[in-house]
Homo-oligomer: A and B are copies of this chain.
Amino acid sequence: MQIMINEIKNWIQEAAEIIKKEIAKNDMTVDTKEDRKDLVTNVDKQVQDFLIEQMHDFDPEAKILGEENGRDQLTDFSGRVFIIDPIDGTLNFVLEQENFCIMIAVYEEDKGKLGFIYNVMEDTLLWGGPEVGVFINEENLPVPADLNLAEGLVGMNSSMYRKNSYNAQLMAERSMGVRMSGCAGLELISLIRGKRNAYVSSLAPWDYAAGSVMLDALNMKFSNIEGGPLKFNGRERFIAATPTAYKEMMQLVGQAQN
């Protein structure tokens, strides 16, 4: 596993170099996908292609699920699966040139083995899994304090908050405050580091795959909003929190009208 960890760290560093060079060149091509706020750039595609190439070289048998280039469906999770978000937070990447992440997860026989979330412009890598522990760069991260809902900050999707989906507004009200970064990777980094106590959003598999592996390794709770396992098939409502905050939030979900 150490060989694979080192390989993936190298891929991420090289991918980050590609991204930084493209930012410096400043001639990105931006296209929309499902709506005018759902962006993809030539850089997202280029980085995913680069990562897939490395993954194929490393393990020609591995299956790949990725956000771009028609790689976004996978039904067979047997063997080794790499799950890629080449640029998580593309809107921030395009508009802010910061606050975006590269995310890679490794699953084997349907079980999360390794997760990597790299905040590119801040140069912060969170990585690890149940067998190796979780690290920020090379420093081991402890299990975060089991804060209750009232003791911490909740990251949240703006649409769920606005519509009060699943009592989202009440969750926010009972917490210390709501935060919105526009980047699942950043929210998950904050949760994993114990700087937030919860995160609620509508996510695709490549948004939650890497984070889930690390949350699992730190005894944090996560599921779809109904409390069931994540489907790794299309977008679904995602909730993750400290064990105590998770229990409180799932009670609020149960009492919700919408």
**Given A96-B153, A96-B195, A190-B96, A91:B158 Cβ within 8 A:** no
CB distance from A139 to the nearest CB of B (A): 15
Interface flags for A131-163 (1: CB within 8 Å of B; 0: not) read: 000000000000000000010110000100110
Binding site for B on A (CB under 8 A): 36-37, 91-92, 95-98, 122, 150, 152-153, 158, 161-162, 169, 172, 176-182, 190, 195-196
Among B37, B122, B180, point to the contact of A179 (Cβ < 8 A).
B180
**Given A153-B91, A161-B162, A169-B162, A176:B97 Cβ within 8 A:** no
Among B150, B153, B182, B195, point to the contact of A177 (Cβ < 8 A).
B182
Ranked nearest first, the 6 interchain pairs of A and B with the lowest CB-CB distance are A96-B195, A180-B180, A158-B178, A179-B180, A37-B176, A177-B182
CA A162 – CA B162 in complex, angstroms? 6
Judge whether A153 and B182 touch: CB under 8 Å: yes
CA A152 – CA B182 in complex, angstroms? 13
